[in-house]
Amino acid sequence: MSRFKSFAGKGLSLAVMAVFMLAVIAGCSGAGGSTAAKTDTTSANGQSSKTTEPAAEGKTEAADGGTFTYARPAAVTSFDLHNEITANNAFAIDKVFEPLVSFDKDGKIVDWLAKSHEVSADGLTYTFVLRDGLKFSDGKDVTAKDAVFSLNRHLKVGGPLEISAKIGSVTAKDDHTLVVKLEQPYTPFLSEMSNFSNGILPDNFGGKTEEEFFKKPIGTGPFVVENWDPTGDVTFVKNEHYWQEGKPHINKLVYKLVQDDSQALNQLKAGEVDGIESLALQNAQELKNGDGTAVLTNGSWVTEQLFFNTLDEHFADKHVRRALALALDRDGLTKALTFGYAQTANSLLPTTIPYNSNDSIKPLNFNVEEAKKELAQSKFPTGFSSTLLVASGNDTRAQEAQIIQAAAKTIGIDLKIESVELAAFRERFFAYDFSAMLNSGQADSPEANSIIAFQTDPDGFSKSYWTHYTNDQVTKLLREGQTTPDGEGRQKIYGELLQILADDVPYIPLYYPDIIKGVRSSVEGLTVLPNGSLRFEDAHIAQ
Amino acid sequence: MTQTLRKARREAGFPSSWRWVGTALLRALLVILCVTTAVFFLIRIVPGDPAKMILGEYATDESITALRHTLGLDLSLWEQFVRFVRILFTQGDTGNSIVSGVSVRQLIGDRAPVTLLLIAMAAVLAVCISLILAVLAATHKDKLLDHLIRIFPAITLGMPVFWVGLLLILLFGVRLHWFPVGGVREGWTGMLYSLTLPAITVAFSQIPTLVRSLRAQMLEVLESDFVVTLKAAAIPRHAILFKHVLRNSALPTLMLLGVNLSYMIGGTLVVEQVFGIKGIGSLLFTSISSRDFPVIQGIALYCAVAVVVIGLLVEIFAWWLDPRTKEKR
């Protein structure tokens, strides 16, 4: 017994203490390590677009094959392209279905399944000519009839990303030519055609029922669904009939469901996944400097904003909104919160969207004295108390709210922060049950009308993004912008419209956040798109 | 005389045991019904619309209304409840997931093995570690080792489970690469390997109370008359300790473990999230965020059943082990 006592006593207690100490030490220290070689490159249009170079040792070699495992916070629940909108499904659907035209990493519209497209001078007829030798993933030829079926189904379903143009007819002129006739000119149409929801599927679902088809979808995209658990992972294999010869380079793409962001981050650091979709700004620097990890970024189509409910007794007053805009140091806020992964916003439109007028517009810049004068002109010259609604679970937004709260206090406005869970947050603002809120506006395609219509159209279902803001001049310019052909005329219209918004301040555009993705340094050729999706066609994993 | 008394007792005891079983089952059924009904109404009172969560912020009112109709969310609360009860009794299920369309029973069935294995591993680990620590503490009463072991629960009880999990991930997953950071690998060995850290984490939260209880029980038994007699009879100490003391102090600890098992079902939910394990916990987490009512109800139902069954088993176990409890009945 005494031997047992001494052995068990000393040995075990030492072991327990050692494990405990190690755990504490490990937990308290950050991730150090050497820095992998990385360079920042600038994309063609001058947008900040940083890509990773392979590890510096020179031993790495890009080879075809292999599996890319991508950790994502939400599962893919449906492949029905006409009924989906949220990122969890959209960024899986776009791997299987492809539209006639698409956009590149700079948001420029490019021909995709169509080898060319033509818009008639009156803006009413769009003609798309399909690429030669296009095949679906089952080896069958793609014809204009498939495109007709796809667009007609989208028109019939409507769905969350419905086609806004008034379509007169969709016809197949011959096997390779699709003609779409509009009832009235609608300039954003081409850009809207680049949405994943306008992807091409086989005529009549290839003879299957809708349900069967979307369980094992067939498209022209670079990948084919091999295994799909609607509450878990998706495994894609490369499409052997893909029209871009020799691509994709990887054999398999796995969308691994990892709901917890810090778990995903740790899996990336340990090399268990090759990339992570959701990366908090505060962790980006750690990955950038980390051993074997890197950060990929691109400009986004998102504008982070402070929204005002213009039905609210205080924020109905334009002077109050203007005073808050003047009291807020947007530049300081952006620098403090985004670690260099964002650009301060002047206009509603991010700089990645054409006609953004970010350089020419004159916003209400930080000036506390002017802010006080502006508030003095309002119905509440000495200030008031109100609330700022924020969805919980987003650290950056929580800090944003605090900065705004402090800025408001400098002019006598007492903002109480109300942090509620996402589902409750949506319920509240959908019912206009808020005074001010933090949220972001996002374009679905590289088109000015996308964000502007959603945030200014008083007849739209969102009632100017639930601000209830109405300005007849803005509505007139919005309609003009939709029918005016691309060019200087359209530029002028949006310049004027955005200036009115900057003066009326139904919302304060704060900053344009970059898209940031965490990857292993061994990953090459991955393209980060401005909508937040990734293109894997050129991706390699260095051996 | 004695025989007559025994017979009378047996006759009186037989129907009373059946009565006990009947009462226990009725009580269990009542608990399960109350839990499912409460959960049904509670999740519907909390703000948040599943249709809006599925379609996102850019969905039109028409598409939201259409989806609400498809999902039966436009029915009155009472009609929804009747529908829910009908499906529950006719199909033994709570319906299909609103988000994925998969049957809740299938969803839970797919994920239950991993959660059950995690609980089992954690329970075994907790018992083994607690046993060692309690024996050491009890045999070293008021010495340094005893103090250290007694301080240990005080410290660990204050540590949140997710924090312990994160520390283990950073040390053994990210730094040392001894164990996977998260997820569950294929095959039995893969599963056991990847569930080791999560099981340690869950066990960590159970050990303090088990050690305390077992140590106290052992000390009580160590000081009892029969141990003094055994010592006087020169029976070796290890034999006294493991054959008599441990056996006699095990019952209350096992009862405690039974109660803790119910808590562990709740505890694993957090741990699964931290370790990225696709078990019942992570399913519940996603379902709550997306307001997937049938799945939340299903998990509540099965968890309630599990807790009630464990409770019953513990009672039966105690009844069988300890004649005193039997007499009380």
Give the confidence band of B57 by pLDDT, cuts at 50, 70, 90: low
Amino acid at A115: K
Is the distance from CB of A457 to CB of A464 less than 8 angstroms?
Answer: yes
Whether A42 shows a pLDDT value over 50: the answer reads no
Q: Which of B140, B183, B209 is nearest to B272 (CA)?
A: B183
Round to whole Å and give the CA distance between A286 and A297.
Answer: 15
**pLDDT band for position B253 (50/70/90)?**
confident
Q: Of the candidates B195, B213, B203, which has an alpha carbon nearest to the alpha carbon of residue B114?
A: B195
Residue A50 has pLDDT above 70, yes or no: no
Name the more confident of A317 and A286.
A317
Give the model's pLDDT for residue B323: 61
End-to-end CA distance of chain B: 24
User: Residue A155 corresponds to which amino acid?
Assistant: L
- Specify whether the CB–CB gap between A368 and A410 falls below 8 A: yes
- pLDDT at position A54 over 60: no
Task: State residue A295's pLDDT score.
Answer: 96
- For residues A381 and A377, give the distance between their C-alpha atoms in angstroms, rounded to a whole number: 6
Q: DSSP states of B188-235 as a string?
A: HHHHHHHTHHHHHHHHHHHHHHHHHHHHHHHHHHHTSHHHHHHHHTT-
Provide the pLDDT for residue A26.
37
Q: How confident is the model at residue B215 (pLDDT cuts 50, 70, 90)?
A: confident
Task: Quote the pLDDT of residue A17.
Answer: 38
Question: What's the rounded mean pLDDT across residues B93-122?
Answer: 87
**A322 φ/ψ angles, rounded to the nearest 5 degrees:** -65, -40
- Residue in the block written with tokens 């800090």: A399
* Tokens 């953004």 belong to residue: A356
pTM: 0.80
**Mean pLDDT value across chain A:** 87
Q: The complex's ipTM?
A: 0.71
Exposure class string for B306-319: b at 16+ Cβ within 10 A, else e: bbbebbbebbeebb
Q: Residue A369: is its pLDDT beyond 90?
A: yes
Query: Is the CB of A423 less than 8 angstroms away from the CB of B174?
Result: no
Angle at the Cα of A186 from the Cα atoms of A181 and A188, rounded to 5 degrees: 115
- Cα–chain center distance at A326: 28
Q: Which of B52, B110, B132 sits opposite A426 (nearest CB)?
A: B52
On chain B, the residues whose CB falls within 8 A of the CB of A418 are none
Mean pLDDT of A446-452: 93
Contact A72, A277 (CB under 8 A): yes
The pLDDT of B148-162, averaged and rounded, is 79
pLDDT of A21 over the 70 cut: no
Q: Cα–Cα–Cα angle for A337, A338, A343, nearest 5°?
A: 120
Tell me what pLDDT residue B156 has: 74
Cis peptide before A248 (omega within 30 of 0): yes
E strand or H helix at B79: helix B77-91
pLDDT of residue B229: 82
Please give the structure tokens belonging to residue B1.
């005389």
A9 touches B: beta carbon within 8 Å = yes
- A227 at B interface, C-beta within 8 A: no
The SS3 call for residue A40 is coil
Q: Hey, what are A305's tokens?
A: 């904003």
> In the prediction, which pLDDT does A36 show?
32
pLDDT for B195 beyond 70: yes
How many CB atoms neighbour CB A100 within 10 A?
A: 26
Amino acid letter at B266? G
Binary contact (A74, B59; C-beta < 8 A): no
Q: How confident is the model at residue B6 (pLDDT cuts 50, 70, 90)?
A: low
3-state DSSP call for residue A114?
strand
Q: What is the dihedral of CA B119, B125, B129, B135, to 10 degrees?
A: 80
DSSP string for residues in B156-184: HHTS-HHHHHHHHIIIIIIIS-SS-SSS-
Cβ atoms within 10 Å, residue B143: 13
Taking only the tens place, the pLDDT of each residue in A154-196 is: 999 888 888 989 999 999 999 999 999 999 999 999 999 999 9
Q: Are strands A342-344 and A507-520 parallel, antiparallel or unpaired?
A: antiparallel
> How many angstroms separate the CA atoms of A140 and B202, rounded?
53
Check whether A43 has a pLDDT greater than 50.
Answer: no
Report whether pLDDT(A201) > 90: yes
Taking the C-alpha atoms of residue B281 and residue A507, their distance in angstroms, rounded to an integer, is 39
Please check the confidence at residue A22 and state whether its pLDDT lies above 60. Answer: no
Of the pLDDT bands very low, low, confident and very high (cuts 50, 70, 90), residue A18 is very low
pLDDT tens sequence across A510-522: 999 999 999 999 9
Distance from CA of B245 to the nearest CA of A (A): 14
**pLDDT tens by residue, A470-520:** 999 999 999 999 999 999 999 999 999 999 999 999 999 999 999 999 999
The answer to whether A266 contacts B282, with C-beta atoms less than 8 Å apart, is: no
Q: How far apart are CA A234 and CA A227, in angstroms?
A: 6
Q: Decide which of B106 and A43 is more confident.
A: B106
Residue of A nearest to B240 (CA): A1
Q: Which residue of A has its CA nearest to B59?
A: A160
Specify the DSSP element, H or E, that contains A438: strand A436-442
Mean pLDDT, range B132-158, rounded to an integer: 82
pLDDT tops 50 at residue A4: no
Q: What token pair was written down for A318? A: 């334009």
Strand A109-111 and strand A101-103: the pairing is antiparallel
Across A80-149, where does the E strand assignment appear?
Answer: 101-103, 109-111, 114-119, 125-130
CA atoms of A219 and A222, how far apart (whole Å): 9
Q: What is the DSSP string of B218-230?
A: HHHHHTSHHHHHH
Is a pLDDT exceeding 70 seen at residue A523? yes
Token pair for A331: 């530049």
Beta strands A507-520; A275-276: pairing state: antiparallel
Query: Is A6 near chain B, with CB under 8 Å?
Result: no
Domains in chain B, start-ordered, CATH in brackets?
A: 16-91 (no CATH), 104-328 (1.10.3720.10)
Closest-CA residue of chain A to B280? A231
Residues of A in contact with B276 (CB under 8 A): 258-260, 263-264, 267
What is d(CA B303, CA A341) in angstroms, rounded to the nearest whole number? Answer: 44
Least confident segment among A20-24, A529-533, B90-94, B274-278: A20-24
> What mean pLDDT do residues B71-83 have?
84
Cα gap A102→A530, rounded to integer Å: 12
Residues B253, B254, B255, B259: what is their CA dihedral angle, to the nearest 10 degrees?
100
Q: Is A44 an interface residue toward B (CB < 8 Å)?
A: no
Q: How far is A154 from chain B (nearest CA, A)?
A: 14
With 80 as the cut, is the pLDDT of residue B244 above it? no
Instruction: Report the C-alpha gap between A321 and A211 in whole angstroms.
Output: 49
Query: Is A260 within 8 Å of B102 when comparing Cβ atoms?
Result: no
pLDDT at A202 over 80: yes
Strand partners, A391: A420
What is the rounded CA–CA span in Å between residue A325 and residue A371?
A: 8
CA distance B166 to chain A (A): 7
Q: Out of A8, A263, A454, whose CB is closest to B275? A: A263
List the single residue in A9, A17, A74 with the smallest CB-CB distance to B140: A9
The answer, yes or no, to whether residue A16 has pLDDT greater than 80, is: no
Query: Per-residue pLDDT for A31 more than 60?
Result: no
Highest mean pLDDT among A40-54, A318-332, B76-90, B177-191: A318-332
Half-sphere exposure of A353 (CA within 13 A, CB side): 31
Residue A94 near residue A199, CB atoms below 8 Å: yes
For the cut 60, the answer to whether the pLDDT of residue B10 exceeds it is no
B260-282 burial: b if 16+ Cβ within 10 Å, else e: bbbebbebbbbbbbbbbbbbbbb
Query: Span B176-189, mean pLDDT?
Result: 87
Is the pLDDT higher at B220 or at A79? A79
